């Protein structure tokens, strides 16, 4: 998948958080890529993923921006996985 072409747009601006199991699963995936990630960092990272959605930035750009902001390595697929949960709730589309 070309993450530079996936551009999310917010449909509804409301509070969102992953359920515990989904957060844990994402944490394990991200921790395998950067050992500085932990379970409690997923919620603020997810909030930042959503904060960067403007209908112009791609998933790849969001991953790069949040990586720089938090000084951790984030793959675009991590961002997409989080945003897919938001899409399932009707909060974003891409």
**Residue 12 binned pLDDT confidence (cut-offs 50, 70, 90):** confident
Residue 83 domain-assigned (yes or no): yes
Comparing 9-13, 23-27, 81-85, the range with the smallest average pLDDT is 9-13
Q: Hey, how many other C-beta atoms are within 10 angstroms of the C-beta on 70? A: 16
Domain that holds residue 55: 3-9+19-93
Tally of domains in the chain: 1
pLDDT tier at 40, thresholds 50, 70, 90: very high
| pTM exceeds 0.85 for this model | yes
In a domain, 14, yes or no: no
């Amino acid at each position: 998948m070309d993450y530079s072409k996936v551009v999310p747009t917010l449909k509804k601006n409301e509070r969102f958080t992953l359920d515990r199991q989904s957060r844990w699963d994402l944490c394990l995936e991200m921790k395998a890529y950067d050992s500085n990630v932990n379970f409690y960092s997923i919620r603020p990272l997810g909030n930042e993923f959503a904060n960067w959605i403007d209908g112009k930035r791609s998933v790849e750009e969001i991953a790069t921006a949040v990586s720089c902001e938090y000084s951790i390595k984030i793959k675009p697929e991590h961002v997409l996985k989080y945003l897919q949960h938001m899409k399932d709730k009707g909060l974003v589309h891409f």
